[in-house]
Amino acid sequence: MVIVFKKKWSIFVVCAVALLATVGISLQSVAVPTSASPTANWGLSFQKNGQPPIGNADATYLKQYNAYYIGNTTSDGSESNKVLYLTFDAGFENGNTASILDTLKKHKVPACFFLVKNYLDTAPELVKRMVDEGHTVGNHTASHPDMSKIADKAAFQKELDDLEKAYQTVVGKPMEKLYRPPQGKFSEQNLKMAAEMGYTTYFWSLAYVDWYVDRQPSRKQAFDKLLPRTHPGAIVLLHSTSKTNAEILDELLTKWKGMGYRFGELQDISL
């Protein structure tokens, strides 16, 4: 997700660069390394509908740094294994989050909202509501930089600490240590530093192009992208800035439940 300063449009261009790595690569075959390159953009390759995609860093590699892109899953696809982990990235509030929270409450579905400091500063009441209604707030950094370019541990830690402090001020209690790299950009050094700080890093295994405020997908386009690629253990990335997501979420959760899925919390993932 992205942070907004003066011009929201420029923010979505940044976001597009990052998530097109997911959506674009997912249409192709990718070489899957056993370890990540020095820096990388998170990307996925969907080989078969209904089955977990392949990430450009595999689950075994990520786990050594307390990082995940997919939840608990087995090859048999059994009903007991059909769990989804719902996450929202949020850099600013544009009127959709209250509706999203209403729908989550209706369906009794937990979610993790990865926030930047701008969101905490400008929409503190919504942050309090997230926490009061049982959702988790994760760390998406204070200023949403390319963290893969930050080699200095003190500078890296400041981005996370500043967000933690803002959360403590708003909510009145410490923040859980869940981290999502801005733009999906990461390096092995970043993963290691986050782990040393006690953070678990979460990428995603299901997303679609939902971030352009002025070019929102239709209901049909959203379902056509999300439903065929839904898979056991999916960490789902949506954006709470999306008007389409607010409009379809009730039906989307109903459809997922009809497919036999239940909803878990990121903290429960342990491959």
Q: Among 58, 239, 250, 268, which one carries the catalytic annotation?
A: 239
Residue type, 259: M
Tokens 């993932």 sit at which residue?
269
Q: Which residues of 150-187 are buried (b: 16+ CB within 10 A; e: fewer)?
A: beeeeebbebbeebbebbeebbeeebbbbbbbbbbbbb
161: annotated active-site residue: no
Exposed, middle or buried: residue 31 (CB in 10 Å: 0-12, 13-18, 19+)?
A: exposed
Q: Among 58, 76, 89, 102, which one carries the catalytic annotation?
A: 89
Give the relative orientation of helices 124-132 and 153-171 as an angle to the nearest 10 degrees.
80
Under 8 Å between Cβ of 197 and 7: no
DSSP string, 195-207: HHTTPEEE--SB-
DSSP run (H or E) holding 237? strand 235-239
89: annotated active-site residue: yes
Alpha-carbon span 28 to 22, nearest angstrom: 10
Residues tagged active-site: 89, 239
